[in-house]
Each structure stands twice: as C-alpha cells, then as structure tokens.
Amino acid sequence: MLHYCIAHLAYHFSRQLPKRSRAKLPKSSRYCGQPLLINLTSFIIFTFIMTGFTVVLTLMDPVSHEVKVTFHMYGVGSFAQGIITTAFTVTVPQCANTTPELYYLSLVLSVLSVLATVFIVFLIPFWLAEVLYPGMVLNGRSQSGVCHKPVASYPYLWHV
C-alpha cells in the first residue's frame, strides 16, 4: 500500500504544477554515457529478491541446504552487481551535471556496496574456520569459541 500511496500522492501533487514546468529540460541535455538507469533497475530487482530471501530466512528453521546454496549464489550475483555499479559510477563523473539524481543515487549505492563487501570479506575467515574446525568460532552447546563472548546474547548473528 505504501507504493500505491506514494504514486497516488505524486500524481496529485504533480497536477498542482503548470504543465510547462513539469519537464523543463530537453531530452538531449539529460543524457548520461553509462547505463546507470538500467543498472538501477537491476539493483531494484535485486532488492525484491533480497526481500524474498529475508522472509524465507527468517521464517525457516532449520534453513534447508538448497536455500543456503541459492542464497550464497545470490550473494555472488549481488557482489557482481556492486562491482558493476561502482565501475559505472566511477567512469562517468560528468553524469553529475546531466543526471545528478541518478548519478548520486548510483554513488550512494556504490559506497554501500563497497562497505557491504568489506564487511563480508571480514567475515570470510570466520566462516572458513568454522567449516574447517567446527565449534572453533562459536560453539553453542559448550558455550565456547573465539566469538562466544561478543555474540553470547545473539547466537549465530553472523552466520547463515
């Protein structure tokens, strides 16, 4: 309903503007060299998929192996999406003049993608240690492991 309401309000508020003021710039002056809009569209698709995974991962207990594998494949795709977004954004700083909203949104998404990648890269050694030496990082039964103290009140906060 939120999306419907926003579109409904935008429609009615846009009708308050005179027709000649709705789109002042000619189309040719609003051009960006990279496909930032297409990239943003794919980012939105990834957001919808992320919403589905969020619902599934929070409701399933235990999470099946197939869902875990699919989720990690989605993670690889999300990583690739972040790299593409960052590459497109870095190569076209002139889009800040022609399509500033699109460029700055891409810039924000690039920064967030880089921060998320840094966070996941930080977690990879813990995941590998847990796979190679089960219970070394966090053992819930014996309440021991390298990460037991920091996550004692939030078990398996870092792991899917």
> pLDDT tens-digit profile of 143-154?
555 554 555 555
pLDDT band, residue 23 (cuts 50/70/90): low
In angstroms, the CA 37 to CA 39 distance is 5
Residue 78 lies in a domain: yes
3-state SS class at 131: helix
Residue 20 lies in a domain: no
* Residue 16 resides in a domain: no
Q: Does 25 have pLDDT greater than 70?
A: no
Task: Return mean pLDDT, the chain.
Answer: 77
How far apart, in whole angstroms, are the C-alpha atoms of residue 158 and residue 160? 7
**pTM given for the model:** 0.69
**Residue 19 located in a structural domain:** no
State the pLDDT at residue 83. 94
Q: How confident is the model at residue 85 (pLDDT cuts 50, 70, 90)?
A: very high
- Give the pLDDT band of residue 73 (cuts 50, 70, 90): very high
The pLDDT assigned to 130 comes to 75
Q: Residues 25, 100: contact at Cβ < 8 Å?
A: no
Query: Does the residue 62 lie in any domain?
Result: yes
Question: Does any domain span residue 146?
Answer: no
The residue-averaged pLDDT of 118-135 equals 80
Full residue range of the structural domain in which residue 72 is found: 32-132
Those residues with Cβ within 8 angstroms of residue 70's Cβ, 6 or more apart along the chain or in another chain:
none
How many domains does the chain divide into?
A: 1
- Report the sign of the C-alpha dihedral through residues 87, 51, 45, 41, in that order: negative
Lowest mean pLDDT among 65-74, 92-101, 128-137: 128-137
Q: Is residue 89 part of a domain?
A: yes
Beta bridge partners of 139: 144
The whole-angstrom separation of Cα 10 and Cα 96 is 24
- pLDDT above 70 as % of the chain: 65
Is residue 24 in some structural domain? no
Worst-scoring range by mean pLDDT, 12-26, 42-56, 109-123?
A: 12-26
